[in-house]
């Protein structure tokens, strides 16, 4: 079976969520990815990888890109990445069955809870940011078809899957000079919108799959 590796976003501020998350029956190898702005390069400590970036809401897109980069460089036999958060729990058996019967069987490149987003100004981040300027600002979200990155659409959400083709694009193609369209996403603080926007540009659009999960 093609290997899937889970990229689980966390932060020191919410360590209690990570400690509450029961992954005893989780079907995939995983690491928690946290930020540490004092680092020059990632450091792995058991099941946690500390990335050289800030550990706040604003840096989630960068944290995802750095997490994917770490997986590519350190887990070379991975065929899929499952991106999720540390405040979500899963039925491991059902998650594995869905992965085998839907994602692998259909060779899906990008899937999860699909959202067809029409350009708008969002307030979703307010109250979650370290920056008070951002906490009091509405942010522009361009037209994007993406998968929800966390628990906003439970019980059918909880994360998204990326094939090697897709996560290699995220890892290699974030070059604004080469791909000017990325200016639309360079300042976004919504990691799932960023992921969808990049993949949409390369004609990869998400497939709806139901990932049974619940928030802690």
Kindly report the backbone phi and psi dihedral angles of residue 202, in degrees, each rounded to the nearest multiple of 5, phi listed first: -95, 25
63 Cα distance to chain centroid = 9
**Per-residue model confidence as pLDDT tens digits over 1-44:** 899 999 999 999 888 888 898 888 999 999 999 999 999 999 99
Apex CA 92: angle with CA 83 and CA 84, to 5°?
Answer: 15
Question: pLDDT for 184-201, tens place per residue?
Answer: 777 788 999 999 999 999
pLDDT at residue 174 above 80? no
Which residues, at least 6 apart from 99, have a Cβ–Cβ distance to it below 8 Å?
4, 27, 80, 82, 161
Q: How many other C-beta atoms lie within 10 A of the C-beta of residue 56?
A: 19
Q: Are 169 and 198 in contact (CB under 8 A)?
A: yes
> pLDDT grade, residue 153 (50/70/90)?
low
How many Cβ atoms from other residues are within 10 Å of residue 201's Cβ? 16
Residue 74 Cα distances to 42, 52, 78, 105, 112, angstroms:
11, 16, 10, 26, 25
Say how many residues make up the chain: 216
Write the DSSP assignment of 143-162 as a string of letters.
SEEEE--SSTTTTS-S-EEE
């Amino acid at each position: 079976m093609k290997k899937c590796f889970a990229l689980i976003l966390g932060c020191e501020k919410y360590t209690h969520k990570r400690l509450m998350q029961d992954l005893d029956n989780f079907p995939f190898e995983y690491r928690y990815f946290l930020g540490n702005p004092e680092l020059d390069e990632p450091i792995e400590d058991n099941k946690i990888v500390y990335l050289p970036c800030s550990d706040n809401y604003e840096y989630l897109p960068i944290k995802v890109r750095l997490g994917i980069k770490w997986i590519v460089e350190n887990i070379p036999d991975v065929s899929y990445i499952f991106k999720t958060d540390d405040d979500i729990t899963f039925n491991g058996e059902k998650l594995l069955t869905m992965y085998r019967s839907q994602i692998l069987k259909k060779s899906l490149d990008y899937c999860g809870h699909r959202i067809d987003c029409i350009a708008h100004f969002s307030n979703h981040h307010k109250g979650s940011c370290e920056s008070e300027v951002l906490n009091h600002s509405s942010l522009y979200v361009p037209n994007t078809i993406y998968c929800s990155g966390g628990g906003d659409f439970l019980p059918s959400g909880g994360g998204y899957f990326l094939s090697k083709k897709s996560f290699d694009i995220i890892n290699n193609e974030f070059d604004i000079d080469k791909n000017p369209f990325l200016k639309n996403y360079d300042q976004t603080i919504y990691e799932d919108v960023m992921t969808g926007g990049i993949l949409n540009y390369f004609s990869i659009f998400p497939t709806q799959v139901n990932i049974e999960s619940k928030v802690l």
